[in-house]
């Protein structure tokens, strides 16, 4: 059995949905197909939610635009306007409208999940109906009844043992060969919709593969596979043919948009290989992430993380007992849920490189100032080079101001401006 995942970019219009059909037609295996919301729908739903608080008129307008976008796709796919998908979709949009304008929820995060989860419901209803109309027989599964989570809304944690039981029931392959379901969303035990964190569909695919012991996972993207650098920032990029899970974790951790970082562990635990392939060029072999011992390509990998803050702390009395102080500093960081990308310490200082998210770091600095003298630089970049050579380093750091440089056997990091 294989698990496929199609992200929003692969199904942003009716052409994308037809392309998905062509890809699936090439496979005769048992399949679970996980699909994201169409295009940028999740962002649009976030926008609608925010507007529902500030500006009802604008919110209604955006709601209608999102509805029209989905119905335009349906019209391209189903010429017969009496097809049941028209009524089904209309009903789902009514439910969404009700969630936005009528229901009151105590917490923003709870409301967020009730609204944002509709993106995947819409897309999968449409794709499933279209595939069935084209004789690719499939069963639509409401993953909110399978992927059982706690109620940490917007970042729900999956109850693996309960989900395993439900998943074995739902995806039993007794009468069906192909299942179509949603990524990113789940359902709490109390009956609410939940979400697993933005870009979470990879994680859904990985968890299902793990629980159901799939042979492989295939993630279909708009690139030929995993590249050795982001073509947005680097030129002459090349595809990596195969990398190990460990390598993929390193890349994801330091900011490569390879695959959702949470997706790797469930696959690694069961040794399930993951293929990143192109939905534009489906014949291509893509990149395989699997149990490979060593990185065997002669290509350095470049990862750039933008918008970094470098914070340096000095004790006010010059006496730094590093061990104790590190505990304290990491205590503050975990309190504010800030992830440290790089750390460097000397006898009398600690430097931390962190993401600039939501101005959280400003609070952190205020907090740290109570105990330390604090200096910081913002608008920096963290450049990571895996499997570096002197030449590779020179190429990307020349003419840049280097704030911190760290090298280990396989990895070099630079905090630069
Ligand atoms: N649709 C969700 C998002 O855009 C999940 C995903 O695409 O993986 O975050
Ligand atoms: Mg997406």
Helix (H) or strand (E) holding 277: strand 274-278
Candidate of 7, 219, 221 to mutate for ligand 1, largest count of ligand atoms within 8 Å of Cβ: 7
> Would you state the pLDDT for residue 362?
85
For residue 208, the CA-to-ligand 1 centroid distance in Å is 17
Q: Judge whether residue 293 has pLDDT over 90.
A: no
Rg (CA), the chain: 23
Write out pLDDT tens, residues 229-278: 988 888 888 999 999 999 999 888 888 888 898 999 999 999 999 999 99
Q: Structure pTM? A: 0.90
User: Which atom of ligand 1 is least distant from the CA of 200?
Assistant: 8
Residue 318 half-sphere exposure toward CB, CA atoms < 13 A:
0
Structure-token match 């335009």, residue found: 72
Write out pLDDT tens, residues 141-154: 999 999 999 999 99
Let me know: does 259 contact 202? Beta carbons within 8 Å. yes
**Domains observed in the chain:** 2-221 (3.40.1160.10), 301-416 (3.30.2130.10)
Tokens of 182: 């949603």
Average pLDDT over residues 159-169: 98
For residue 165, the CA-to-ligand 2 centroid distance in Å is 28
Average pLDDT, rounded, for the chain: 94
Write out pLDDT tens, residues 23-68: 999 999 999 999 999 999 999 999 999 999 888 999 999 999 999 9
Q: Judge whether residue 318 has pLDDT over 80.
A: no
């Amino acid at each position: 059995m294989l698990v496929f995942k199609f992200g929003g970019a692969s199904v942003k219009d009716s052409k994308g949905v037809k392309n998905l059909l062509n890809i699936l037609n090439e496979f005769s295996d048992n399949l679970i197909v996980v699909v994201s919301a169409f295009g940028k729908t999740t962002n649009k739903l976030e926008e609608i939610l925010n507007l529902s608080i500030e500006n009802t008129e604008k919110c209604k307008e955006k709601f209608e635009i999102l509805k029209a976008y989905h119905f335009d796709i349906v019209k391209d796919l189903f010429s017969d306007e009496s097809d049941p998908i028209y009524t089904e979709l209309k009903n789902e949009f009514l439910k969404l409208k009700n969630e936005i304008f009528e229901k009151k929820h105590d917490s923003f995060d709870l409301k967020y999940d009730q609204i944002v989860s509709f993106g995947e419901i819409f897309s999968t209803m449409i794709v499933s109906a279209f595939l069935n109309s084209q004789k690719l027989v499939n069963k639509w599964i409401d993953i909110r009844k399978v992927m059982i989570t706690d109620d940490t809304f917007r970042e729900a944690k999956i109850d693996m043992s309960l989900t395993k039981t439900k998943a074995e029931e739902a995806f039993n392959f007794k009468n069906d060969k192909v299942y179509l379901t949603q990524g990113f969303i789940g359902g709490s035990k109390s009956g609410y919709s939940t979400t697993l964190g933005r870009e979470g569909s990879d994680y859904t695919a990985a968890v299902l593969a793990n629980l159901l012991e799939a042979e492989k996972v295939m993630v279909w993207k708009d690139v030929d596979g995993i590249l050795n650098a982001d073509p947005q920032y680097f030129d002459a990029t090349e595809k990596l043919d195969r990398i190990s899970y460990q390598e993929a974790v390193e890349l994801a951790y330091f900011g490569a948009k390879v695959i959702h970082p949470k997706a790797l562990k469930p696959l690694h635990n069961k040794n399930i290989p993951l293929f990143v392939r192109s939905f534009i060029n489906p014949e291509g072999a893509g990149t395989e992430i699997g149990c490979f011992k060593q990185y065997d390509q002669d290509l350095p990998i470049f990862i750039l993380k933008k918008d970094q803050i470098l914070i340096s702390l000095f004790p006010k009395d010059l006496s730094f007992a590093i061990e104790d102080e590190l505990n304290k500093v990491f205590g503050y960081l975990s309190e504010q849920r800030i992830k440290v990308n790089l750390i460097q310490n000397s006898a009398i200082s600690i430097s931390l490189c962190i993401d600039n998210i939501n101005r959280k770091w400003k609070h952190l600095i205020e907090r740290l100032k109570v105990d330390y003298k604090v200096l910081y630089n913002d608008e920096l970049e963290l450049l990571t080079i895996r499997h570096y050579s002197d030449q590779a380093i020179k190429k990307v750091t020349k003419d840049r101001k280097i704030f911190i440089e760290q090298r280990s056997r396989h990895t070099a990091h630079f905090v630069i401006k």
